Amino acid sequence: MNLPLLLALAVVLLPGMATAAELAGLFPGLTRLDLNNEGVTVLYPRERGETATAPAWLKEYEAAGVYASAPLTLRLGELPAMTLVCDSGPSADPSCRLLRDPAKPEEAVFSATGTQFAFLPDARVVVAGHSNNFYDQRKVYVWKGSRFDEVPQPLRQVGIGGTLRQPVALRRAPGADAAALGVTVAAGSRVTVLLNDNSYVDDTGQNPNYLLLTAEGIVGWAHLPGQPDGSTAIDGLYFRGD
């Protein structure tokens, strides 16, 4: 995707960028269920959900000091009933999954980390949340034959502002060796992180290339690898998770 097209996309996205906290506002027809101990908010169609019976194996989570529950049985689209299980994770990295058979947790047909999960009547699942990533990632899953698969995205919406901790050179394309734009943004400058390259991810599931918008209105790519402490060159862009 060329830079002029990305700039146009950024202008469209910026005014309406939403965070995980706003996910419920995108689906006002869904019922909200806050699982406070698990650190998860679930949105679901009330007419397609009912209270589930907790499987016995959840007691193993309690013994390990992890909050976990099976709050709902969901019937999405034309799919058979599935049990929703959510847990806080061993180190505050919450996740949810769907099970055809609640007695077989190892056979999940959907599993994702996140803090907000919207289960739509047409059997799509929208996930959001700043958990085990560098920003609030929005993901969409659709049913593919026998399980829910994530919809591939060449770019991910970021939409956060921050201050540069160090000078950052802008580039014409993603990558540390991409052609320079001819602009280096000084430390202390405010920038908006518009998009994250998602054409590939590293061993940690992340991509260090971000499209930035400067206060002067310049748009360019920056290579911002995570540091051992989880920080990056932008104070608002940091890793939350294990």
What does the pLDDT read at residue 22? 78
pTM of the shown model: 0.86
Structure tokens at 68: 């976990």
What does the pLDDT read at residue 4? 47
The mean per-residue pLDDT over the stretch 184-212 comes to 95
Q: Which domains does the chain have, with CATH numbers?
A: 3-15+155-223 (2.30.30.40), 20-128 (no CATH)
Give the three-state DSSP class for 26.
helix
pLDDT digits (tens, 9 = 90+) for 48-59: 999 999 999 999
What does the pLDDT read at residue 203? 82
Q: Whose structure tokens read 């679930």? A: 42
**Nearest of 201, 196, 197, 206 to residue 241 by alpha carbon:** 206
List, in sequence order, every beta strand (DSSP E) within the chain.
31-35, 40-44, 49-51, 68-74, 82-87, 95-99, 108-113, 116-119, 124-128, 139-144, 147-150, 155-163, 168-171, 180-185, 190-197, 209-214, 219-223
The mean per-residue pLDDT over the stretch 118-126 comes to 98
What does the pLDDT read at residue 79? 97
pLDDT digits (tens, 9 = 90+) for 6-64: 544 444 444 444 454 578 899 999 999 999 999 999 999 999 999 999 999 999 999 99
Question: What phi, psi does 46 have (nearest 5°)?
Answer: -55, -40
What does the pLDDT read at residue 16? 43
